[in-house]
Structure 1
Amino acid sequence: MATTTAVPDLDPRTGAPPRRAGGDLLEGDRPLRDALVREGAGELLAEVHAAGRTFAAGDAIDDGTIANVATPQIVGPAEVRFDPAFHAIMRRAVEHGITGVPWADERPGAHVARAAKFMLLAQVEAGSTCPMAMTYSCVPALRLSDAVAAEWEPRVSSGVYDPRELPAEAKDGALIGMALTEAAGGSDLAGLTTVGRPLGGDAYAVSGVKWFVSAIQSDAFFVLAKTETGISCLLVPRLRDDGTPNGFEITALKDKLGNRSNPTAEVTLTDAHGRLVGEEGRGVAAIMAMIGGTRTDCVLGSTAVMRLGTAEAIHHGDHRHAFGRALSEQPVMTAVLADLALETEAAVAAALWLVRLAERSRAGDEGAELVRRIAAPALKYWICKRAPIHAAEAIECQGGFGYMEDSRLARCYREAPLMSIWEGSGNVQTLDVLRAVQRTPAVLEALLAELDAAAGGDRRLDARTAELRALVADPQRLAADPRGLAARIALALQAAVLVRGAPFEVADAFCASRLADGPPAVFGALPASVDAAAVVARHRPQDG
Structure 2
Amino acid sequence: MADDIHPSAHASTHMVSNQVPPLCGHNLYAGDQALQESLFFNGGHWSENDLQRYGEVCGRPEMIERGYAANEFKPIFESHDRIGNRIDLIRYHSSYHQLMQLALSEGLHSAPWAEPRSGANVARAAKYYLQTQLEAGHGCPVTMTFASIPSIQLNSEVAKQWVSKILNRGYDGSNRPYFEKSSLTIGMGMTEKQGGSDVQSNTTTAIPMGNGTYELLGHKWFMSAPMCDAFLILAQAPGGLSCFLVPRWRPDGSKNRLEIQRLKVKAGNVSNASSEVEMRGAMGWLLGEEGRGVNAIIKMVAITRFDCMVGSSGGQRQAVVQAIYHASIRKAFGQKLIDQPLMRNVLADLHLEVEGSIALTMRMARALDQEDQEHEQMLLRLGAAVGKYWICKRSPHHAYEAMECLGGNGVIENFITARLYRDAPINAIWEGSGNIQVLDVLRAITKTPVVVNHWLDELSGSIGLNAHYDKAIDALKKEFADLDQFEYRARTIVDRMALTMQAHLLLQLGNEAVSDAFIQSRLESKGIHSTGSLPKNIDIETLLKRGDPLSI
Give the TM-score of the pair, scaled to structure 2: 0.94
The answer to whether 1:21 aligns with 2:24 is yes
Aligned residues of 2:257 and 2:280 also touching (Cα < 8 A) = yes
Separation in 1 of the partners of 2:157 and 2:514? 49
Find the residue that maps to 1:160 and give its secondary structure: coil
The answer to whether 1:52 aligns with 2:62 is no
Q: 1:178 maps to which residue? A: 188
Aligned residues of 1:513 and 1:519 also touching (Cα < 8 A) = no
Separation in 1 of the partners of 2:113 and 2:353? 31
Question: Which aligned pairs between 1:45-444 and structure 2 lie closer than 5 A?
Answer: 45-75=48-78, 76=80, 77-200=87-210, 202-361=212-371, 364-444=372-452
Residue among 38, 41, 44 paired with 2:44: 41
Aligned residues of 1:101 and 1:158 also touching (Cα < 8 A) = no
CA displacement at 1:31 relative to structure 2: 0.6
Distance 1:287 1:15, change over 3 A: farther
1:41-71 deviation per Cα after TM superposition (whole angstroms, max 9, x unaligned): 1101122222222221111111111111111
- Matching residue's letter, 1:462: D
CA displacement at 1:211 relative to structure 2: 1.2
Separation in 1 of the partners of 2:357 and 2:527? 14
Find the residue that maps to 2:232 and give its secondary structure: strand
Separation in 1 of the partners of 2:221 and 2:551? 41
Aligned residues of 2:120 and 2:369 also touching (Cα < 8 A) = no
1:13-55 deviation per Cα after TM superposition (whole angstroms, max 9, x unaligned): 5964121111311111111111111111110112222222222
1:331-353 deviation per Cα after TM superposition (whole angstroms, max 9, x unaligned): 11111110000001100111011
Separation in 2 of the partners of 1:16 and 1:403? 15
CA displacement at 1:242 relative to structure 2: 4.4
Unmatched segments (≥5 aa) in structure 2: 1-13, 81-86
Find the residue that maps to 2:242 and give its secondary structure: strand
CA displacement at 1:237 relative to structure 2: 0.4
Residue among 458, 474, 483 paired with 1:475: 483
Aligned residues of 2:208 and 2:215 also touching (Cα < 8 A) = yes
- Matching residue's letter, 1:357: A
Q: 2:35 maps to which residue? A: 32
CA displacement at 1:384 relative to structure 2: 0.8
Separation in 2 of the partners of 1:420 and 1:14? 38
Separation in 2 of the partners of 1:406 and 1:448? 45
Unmatched segments (≥5 aa) in structure 1: 1-10
1:430-470 deviation per Cα after TM superposition (whole angstroms, max 9, x unaligned): 11111222222210111110100111121111111111111
Q: 2:467 maps to which residue? A: 459
- Matching residue's letter, 2:325: H
Separation in 1 of the partners of 2:248 and 2:19? 44
- Matching residue's letter, 1:541: P
Distance 1:480 1:343, change over 3 A: same
Aligned residues of 2:200 and 2:241 also touching (Cα < 8 A) = no
1:372-428 deviation per Cα after TM superposition (whole angstroms, max 9, x unaligned): 111211111111110001001001111111121131100110000111100010000
- Matching residue's letter, 2:236: K
- Matching residue's letter, 1:274: G
- Matching residue's letter, 1:227: A
Q: 1:7 maps to which residue? A: none
Find the residue that maps to 1:226 and give its secondary structure: strand
Which shows bigger deviation, 221-230 or 457-466?
Answer: 457-466
CA displacement at 1:536 relative to structure 2: 0.7
- Matching residue's letter, 1:405: E
- Matching residue's letter, 1:59: E
Separation in 1 of the partners of 2:125 and 2:390? 18
The answer to whether 1:536 aligns with 2:544 is yes
Separation in 1 of the partners of 2:357 and 2:491? 18
Aligned residues of 1:78 and 1:238 also touching (Cα < 8 A) = no
- Matching residue's letter, 1:167: P
CA displacement at 1:491 relative to structure 2: 0.5
Separation in 1 of the partners of 2:527 and 2:400? 16
Find the residue that maps to 1:127 and give its secondary structure: coil
Aligned residues of 1:100 and 1:137 also touching (Cα < 8 A) = no
- Matching residue's letter, 1:45: E
Aligned residues: 532
Aligned residues of 1:56 and 1:543 also touching (Cα < 8 A) = no
**Of the two structures, which has the highest relative contact order with CA contacts closer than 8 Å and spacing of 6 or more?**
1
1:312-339 deviation per Cα after TM superposition (whole angstroms, max 9, x unaligned): 0000000011233321111111111100
- Matching residue's letter, 1:433: V
Q: 1:6 maps to which residue? A: none
Distance 1:85 1:281, change over 3 A: same
Which shows bigger deviation, 256-265 or 244-253?
Answer: 244-253
Separation in 1 of the partners of 2:543 and 2:380? 29
Which shows bigger deviation, 532-541 or 317-326?
Answer: 317-326
CA displacement at 1:543 relative to structure 2: 9.1
CA displacement at 1:477 relative to structure 2: 4.9
Aligned residues of 1:24 and 1:543 also touching (Cα < 8 A) = no
Aligned residues of 1:25 and 1:543 also touching (Cα < 8 A) = no
CA displacement at 1:201 relative to structure 2: 5.1
Aligned residues of 2:68 and 2:414 also touching (Cα < 8 A) = no
Find the residue that maps to 1:428 and give its secondary structure: helix
Find the residue that maps to 2:328 and give its secondary structure: helix
CA displacement at 1:119 relative to structure 2: 1.3
Find the residue that maps to 2:243 and give its secondary structure: strand
CA displacement at 1:309 relative to structure 2: 0.8
Which shows bigger deviation, 464-473 or 432-441?
Answer: 432-441
Aligned residues of 1:78 and 1:245 also touching (Cα < 8 A) = no
| Aligned-residue CA RMSD (Å) | 1.7
- Matching residue's letter, 1:221: F
Aligned residues of 2:18 and 2:331 also touching (Cα < 8 A) = no
Aligned residues of 2:522 and 2:529 also touching (Cα < 8 A) = no
- Matching residue's letter, 1:234: F
Which shows bigger deviation, 302-311 or 238-247?
Answer: 238-247
Which shows bigger deviation, 495-504 or 311-320?
Answer: 495-504
Q: 2:522 maps to which residue? A: 514
1:490-513 deviation per Cα after TM superposition (whole angstroms, max 9, x unaligned): 001111111111411001110110
Aligned residues of 1:98 and 1:132 also touching (Cα < 8 A) = yes
Separation in 2 of the partners of 1:166 and 1:31? 43
Which shows bigger deviation, 470-479 or 304-313?
Answer: 470-479
Find the residue that maps to 1:80 and give its secondary structure: strand
Separation in 2 of the partners of 1:382 and 1:413? 17
CA displacement at 1:225 relative to structure 2: 0.4
- Matching residue's letter, 2:47: L
CA displacement at 1:241 relative to structure 2: 3.0
Separation in 2 of the partners of 1:57 and 1:519? 42
